[in-house]
């Protein structure tokens, strides 16, 4: 096989002639854990005293739950810290933040 000029591959994993070794790692949260985190996110959205701040940070949490990764854990922790800083003494928000943090600590990959 001869290639004259640049060759580009878009998407997928390429394996030529059985020579390359391909490894893929899929990371996911257990469905029960994911459901518990999503329930706490809903409670947080309803209880946070600063709805604008909540709407800035909650999508970070939702995306991380959809596609968990070790890198995503840092983004979740940062978002939870910002939410906690703005929660004041709003008990429902503080409880939801603490519950999410505990679930992330116990079950998050990485």
Confirm whether 77 is domain-assigned.
Answer: yes
**pLDDT tens for residues 60-104?**
999 999 999 988 999 999 999 999 999 998 999 999 999 999 999
Residue 35 lies in a domain: yes
Has residue 57 been placed in a domain? yes
Asked whether 65 and 103 are in contact (CB, 8 A), the reply is no
User: Is residue 94, in this structure, part of any structural domain at all?
Assistant: yes
Residue 14 lies in a domain: no
Residue 60 lies in a domain: yes
Residue 79 lies in a domain: yes
Could you tell me the CA-to-CA distances from 30 to 19, 77, 103 in Å, in that order?
35, 19, 11
Domain total for the chain?
A: 1
Which domain, by its residues, includes 89? Answer: 31-107
**Any domain includes 100:** yes
pTM: 0.74
């Amino acid at each position: 096989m001869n290639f004259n000029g640049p060759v580009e591959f878009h998407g997928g994993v390429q394996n030529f002639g059985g020579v390359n070794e391909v490894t893929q790692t899929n990371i996911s949260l257990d469905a029960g854990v994911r459901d518990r985190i999503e329930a706490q996110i809903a409670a947080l959205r309803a209880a946070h005293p600063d709805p604008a701040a909540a709407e800035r940070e909650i999508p970070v949490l939702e995306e991380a739950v959809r596609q968990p990764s070790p890198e995503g854990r840092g983004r979740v922790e940062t978002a939870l810290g910002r939410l906690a800083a703005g929660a004041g003494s709003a008990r429902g928000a503080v409880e939801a933040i603490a519950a999410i943090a505990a679930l992330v600590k116990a079950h998050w990959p990485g």
